[in-house]
Amino acid sequence: MAPREVVMGLDKLERGVSFGAAGVALIFAALYFPRILAKTTILHLTAKPGKVEPFCAQDYTHKATLCIRTLVTHPAYWLPAFMALAIIGLFILFFAFRKKRAGVIVSCLLLGLYIGALSNGLLFVFVGGWLIIRAQRLTKYGDASFSGSSRKAKEISKARKEGKPVQSSDTPLVKPAPEASKRYTPKQRKRRR
């Protein structure tokens, strides 16, 4: 019911949430930046010990209740994660600035799946899904808010029960079907019996 420009664009609330998601993505990228600047970084990997000998896998040492492995990493180890977070965060920022819903949705879902949908990436998956739901409400009811779309759904339901056509001022006009083109439509042959 809403025009295409409204459905594909972002309103003030959605734009603010998109800027917030871009900010969080860029903060996550900034957390990787010191590790890229350092010559080497020490990373401690932990695992649960096994129940039988050997308790820990190769290169792990058994300390207290954990198996610990100390790994010295090069800055290139952290570079792909930093680049992905920074680039996709900038994409979210760019599309939010341009008010492009589809770009923000795709960027948020990609970043959420890259980080991990069951950890910190859940925020970005949530933002992308929320924007999809609001676009669906705009398309179907003409209002993205929960209260406005539920009110419109109740009106449609009530009109169907009474057998009346749905009265809406923002319903698009139905265009007449185009006539068949003489140039491209083949002539109908008479059927033989």
- Its pTM stands at 0.70
Residue 137 placed within a domain: yes
Instruction: Give the chain's largest Cα–Cα span.
Output: 92
For 127, the 3-state DSSP assignment is helix
Q: Residue 169: inside a domain, yes or no?
A: no
In a domain, 99, yes or no: yes
Assigned domain for 176 exists: no
| Sign of torsion over alpha carbons 52, 56, 57, 59 | negative
Q: What letter does residue 68 receive in the DSSP assignment? A: E
The pLDDT of residue 111 is 94
27 occurs within a structural domain: yes
Number of domains in the chain: 1
pLDDT of residue 56: 83
Specify the pLDDT at position 172: 55
Query: Contact at 8 Å (CB) between 73 and 39?
Result: no
φ/ψ of residue 118, rounded to 5: -105, 10
The domain containing residue 133 runs over which residues? 4-39+75-144
Residue 192 lies inside a defined structural domain of this protein: no
185 domain-assigned: no
Angle ∠(41,46,49) on CA atoms, nearest 5: 155
**């990609």: which residue's tokens?**
110
In a domain, 151, yes or no: no
Q: What's 98's DSSP letter?
A: T
pLDDT along the chain (193 residues), means of 10: 78 93 95 87 81 78 84 86 94 95 95 87 93 88 72 76 65 68 72 77
